[in-house]
Amino acid sequence: MAEGTHQDGYRIYGVVWFWLLVITLLELGAVLVHLPHTLLVISLLTMALMKAGLIIAYFMHLRYEKLSLAYAVVTPMFFLAIVLFAFLGPDALSVLHRR
């Protein structure tokens, strides 16, 4: 953790910035070339999660925090995603089919 020798120099932020831009351009590209719908949705969600991971791990520094903090932050998100998909997804589809 000594000043300056710590792995997080300024360089890492430039690298993360670069990859965030690359993924954003890929996202826009995927829309502009009209990928098939299912493939588009899957690839866009994957790329969004990759960007989120980069931001949380490096910009928000969670990678360098104690693991207990990472668990405390990430575990609720995991359950949230399950609950939202498991309960709201079928609801929305059943409304669609009743129309």
Partner 1 sequence: MAHDAIDQEQVLASDWGGGRSPFDVGWPKLMMWLFLVSDTLTFAGLLAGYGVVRISLGRWPVRAEIFNLYLVGAMTFILICSSATMAVAVSAAKRGDDRRVIPYLLLTVLGGVLFLLGQAYEWTHFIGEGARLFGNPWGIPQFSATFFITTGFHGGHVSVGVLYLLATALRWSRRSIQPESVEIAGLYWHFVDLVWVFIFTLLYLI
Q: How far is the CB of 19 from partner 1 (least distance, A)?
A: 10
Rule CB under 8 A: which residues touch partner 1? Answer: 3-4, 6, 8-10, 13-14, 16-17, 20-21, 24, 27-28, 30-32, 40-41, 44-45, 47-48, 51-52, 55-56, 58-61, 65-66, 68-69, 72-73, 76-77, 80, 84, 88-89, 91-93, 95-96, 99
Token pair in block for residue 33: 């070339």
Q: How far is the CB of 36 from partner 1 (least distance, A)?
A: 13
